[in-house]
Amino acid sequence: MSKIKYPYEYDPKKRKLAKIYSKGRLMSGIINGIIIPIIFFAFFYFSGLSASLRDIAMPMGSLAIVFYTFIFLTLIAIIQFPLRFYSSYTYEHKYELSRYKLSGWFKDYLKSMLLFYIFTIPIAYGLFAILPWQNWWIYAGVAYFFLSVFLSTIMPILILPIFYKLEPYKNKKHMKKLLSMIKASGVTNVKGIYVANESAKSVKANALFSGLGKTKRIVFFDTLLNNFTPDEVETVIGHEAGHYIQKDIWRGVIIDTILIFPMLLIVDAVLKATGNMTDIANLPLIFLTFRIIEIIIMPLTNTYSRHREAKADLFALETCRKPEAQESTERRLVDMALADHKPNPAIEFIFHSHPSVEKRVAMCREWKRSKRNR
């Protein structure tokens, strides 16, 4: 613990490397998350492959949609696999950011694919069951709301433990201090602070506030605990407490629900244009429509997210009142993750869910100045 340098200053070598590394990450994200899915969905639908798969599935009756969706998801997974493996395993190891063993990476990959199937196939099934209804999109939107609430609730108790060993924070003294800090900031009914064993997977540090109602908890990565001073950890918990008290998970669920209705209406118009609303061969068209809308509104959703993150930062400043430690935390975090602390403003506007570290550090300094002048 005593070996931790404080306050942390940027490592110039890491700052240079971060520029290159973050560019590669962004590129692979754009290729695998935007270009490949859009080309695949469009090609699969317009080439007639989708209709052929439907014809094979049709004799299965009510299970046709299950079979169709399974094959469709598997095909896109196969196409995305090489770049997914390269970007999340090879590339991360190249920059010494990953601690994954090959078997560990595969295990997590298979688990995430399994979860993807478990959620997507029933959703597709349900969607095609209600598509013949009038105003199906209203029912779908309402169902989406309940599904979001359900997922947010089970996240820390059922989903996170699939990927992490979650243990209550063992340092009783520090835990007590953090909990009393959190309580003093107005956050009640905290179910505790948990530690996730990220150090088995990567060197990156993070913390998150997860859950709804009775499952609400703060989880931080052991990488944060091992490499940050207690004051720095406190500022991270302060930030998470900010999300907690400002009800950011509820805000997210509500905003997503507001957005889903116009999105479903557009899907409704697209499906009507095909002439056969309930044809399961339309599934790629539904995926394509969603993907395109998501990309178009990405700058908006990310701008909103950055706004919420800045609010959480401000809450941490007001609660912990340790601007130097908070600044040091930000610098240490970007160096550890090789993230770009000063990204191109256009890239930040479109793709970044968090404000740049340059802006976050500036906020700490601004806060400190305003307190001194008062």
Q: Which residues bind Zn ion (CB under 5 A)?
A: 309, 312
> Any idea what DSSP says for residue 202?
B
Q: Name the strands in the sheet holding 217-221, side by side, starting at the edge strand that comes first in the sequence.
A: 166-168, 193-196, 217-221, 207-210
> What number of other Cβ atoms are within 10 A of residue 365's Cβ?
12
137, 268 in Cβ contact below 8 A?
Answer: yes
Going by C-beta distance under 8 Å and a sequence separation of 6 or more, which residues neighbour residue 10? 331, 335, 341
Question: To the nearest whole angstrom, how small is the minimum distance from the Cβ of residue 239 to Zn ion?
Answer: 6
* Burial state string for 283-318 with b = 16 or more CB within 10 A and e = fewer than 16: bbbbbbbbbbeeeeeeeeebeebbebbbebbbbbbe
In the complex with Zn ion, which residue's Cβ is closer, 92 or 240? 240
CA 374 to chain CA mean position, Å: 39
C-beta of 157 vs 208, nearer to Zn ion: 208
Q: Assign residue 189 a region (left: φ > 0; alpha: ψ between -120 and 50; beta: otherwise).
A: left
Rounded to a whole number of angstroms, the minimum distance from the CB of residue 245 to Zn ion is: 13
Q: Write the DSSP string, 153-165.
A: HHIIIIIHHHH--
Min separation Cβ 40 and Zn ion, Å:
32
196 or 312, CB closer to Zn ion? 312
Q: At closest approach, how far in Å is the CB of 305 from Zn ion? A: 9
Q: What 8-state DSSP symbol labels residue 168? A: E
Q: How far is the CB of 209 from Zn ion (least distance, A)?
A: 8
Which residue type occupies 160? Answer: L
In the complex, least distance from residue 244 CB atom to Zn ion, rounded to whole angstroms: 10
DSSP code of 211? -
Cβ-in-10-Å burial (0-12, 13-18, 19+) of 82 comes to: exposed
> CA torsion angle for 17, 20, 25, 31 (degrees, to 10)?
-170
Q: Which residue, 225 or 263, is less far from Zn ion as judged by CB? A: 225
Smallest distance, Zn ion to C-beta of residue 353, A: 9
CA-to-CA dists, residue 245 to 235, 303, 353, angstroms: 15, 20, 19
For residues 32 and 329, which CB has a smaller minimum distance to Zn ion in the complex? 329
To Zn ion, the closest distance from the beta carbon of 299 in angstroms equals 19
Of residues 309 and 340, the one with the C-beta less far from Zn ion: 309
**73 versus 155: smaller Cβ distance to Zn ion:** 155
Q: Given the complex with Zn ion, which of 73 and 187 has the nearer CB atom?
A: 187
Q: Which is nearer to Zn ion, 198 or 309 (CB)?
A: 309
Which residue, 69 or 152, has its beta carbon nearer to Zn ion? 152
CA atoms of 358 and 344, how far apart (whole Å):
12
Q: Is 285 within 8 Å of 42 (Cβ atoms)? A: no
- State the Cα–Cα distance between residues 21 and 124, nearest whole angstrom: 37
